[in-house]
Amino acid sequence: MSDAPKAKKQIIPHKHPMPAQDPVERARNFNEVALGYDEATAIAEAKRCLQCKNEPCRQGCPVEVYIPQFIKLLAEGDFAGAIAKIKEKNALPAVCGRVCPQENQCEKYCTLGKKHEPVAIGRLERFCADWELKHGVKIPEVAPPTGFKVAVIGSGPAGLTCAADLAKLGHKVTVYEALHVAGGVLMYGIPEFRLPKAVVQAEVENLKKLGVEIEVNSVVGKFATVDELIEEHGYDAVFIGTGAGLPYFMNIPGENSCGVYSANEFLTRTNLMKAYKFPEWDTPIKIGKKVAVLGGGNVAMDAARTALRLGAEESWIVYRRSEKELPARKEEVEHAHEEGVKFALLTNPTRIIADENGWVKAMECLRYELGEPDASGRRSPVPIPGSEFIMEVDTVVVAIGQGPNPLVPRTTKGLELGKKGNIAADPATGATSKPGVYAGGDVVTGAATVILAMGAGKTGAKSIHEYLMAKKG
């Protein structure tokens, strides 16, 4: 046996760049921006992983993916093994690989990131998921039937994840979706150029192969209440994952003028109603020459980038803090800049001005400066007196957040709610004030990330399974 010292692993300090469409071209089409790694790049990136024994990256993953293990398999060229390892925990890997804020989750805890750039965990997950979609999806094993029926309300990331986990445990699951296609915010909210609809639909089809039934055009609170699902339809438990579909507005003068959209309506009409495919689809959306998007989160970036693709000559982000405080992902901000989105920072509208026919023609805005940090640690914006100015715009999209969809909470007797209308649920179990009724995702937390909603769906599924097994005695 040789006493020669073990060769030290040579560390590549930077992530392998993600291939992407040219910004000038992509700003006028709805094709996916990020093109994904090829096999050689994915293997080379996977080999950057240090394979830490204490797995620090996993503490940042709300669905607890076996990150070092799948990356090791990928580095060895075992793509089938890698995706199988991911799917032991994650029912929607092709979605997560695209829209998870990995930089604030798994990659934030990557040991390599202390001195260099962290391993591109999200890009590797996407590679594995896309490889499987291309080569044929293997459906996980399902436990023998338990005899229990569970209703899942809402087919967004929380509902789909909960349904998948319950189905694998042998329960009969029916998902009720209010809209005409399943996927929730993944279908109506996130644009095609960031998350292709075909990817979401493929993930939904895989769910059906587990035995999950999906009923679309089914508005719980209208055709049946939560209590009626249990008492009349024979469900043993219910999971509520109806999301945050209620848009917030600024409540400033002129906000009800023609040409003012909530980001929810603007993105739903574009994505779900296929306005991005007009005239192939008969659902156009009116877009002006100069669009102002109010807000600084991912939804605001999606709306501003969508406006350019729909033909706007100028698309502006209007945000009352500086760029440093933008809550959107760094990657989304960079993509917006590259595509030509303009930023009016430290700026906030005070009123919207309409013409004689009621259509938006301008906004009166106020300039701001940053004061002391607020409770969240971000510096509070302070208006500068006398700094008013007029910004000429003909379309305004309000993207300042959204609250819980109120229909199910309003029609469910004895369901405890929080101050903002969110369902009160135990974060450790998803249990609500009603026995057998669980909730998770944005309807509980308010608008958050896809992966946090998925984590809540997993939590709810585990708790529902324990509740049902206890009933079985």
**Mean pLDDT, residues 220-234 taken together:** 95
Give dist(CA 60, CA 329) in Å, integer: 16
Tracing tokens 């080569």 back to the chain, one arrives at 135
**Mean pLDDT, residues 337-350 taken together:** 97
- What's the predicted TM-score (pTM) here? 0.92
Give dist(CA 33, CA 53) in Å, integer: 35
Which pLDDT band holds residue 6 (cuts at 50, 70, 90)? low
Amino acid at position 170, single letter:
G
Q: In 10 A of CB 210, how many CB atoms?
A: 18
Query: pLDDT exceeding 90 applies to what percent of the chain?
Result: 86
- pLDDT of 1 > 50? The answer is no
Give dist(CA 35, CA 45) in Å, integer: 16
**Mean pLDDT, residues 467-471 taken together:** 93
Rounded to the nearest angstrom, the gap between the alpha carbon of residue 409 and the centroid of all alpha carbons in its chain is: 22
- pLDDT of 5 > 60? The answer is no
Q: Please, what is the end-to-end C-alpha distance for the chain in angstroms? A: 59
Helix (H) or strand (E) holding 81: helix 79-87
Segment 29-57, tens digit of pLDDT = 999 999 999 999 999 999 999 999 999 99
Segment 91-144, tens digit of pLDDT = 899 999 999 999 999 999 999 999 999 999 999 999 999 999 999 988 888 999
Segment 371-428, tens digit of pLDDT = 988 887 888 899 999 999 999 999 999 999 999 988 999 999 999 998 888 999 999 9
**Mean pLDDT, residues 321-332 taken together:** 93
Which pLDDT band holds residue 149 (cuts at 50, 70, 90)? very high
- pLDDT of 462 > 90? The answer is yes
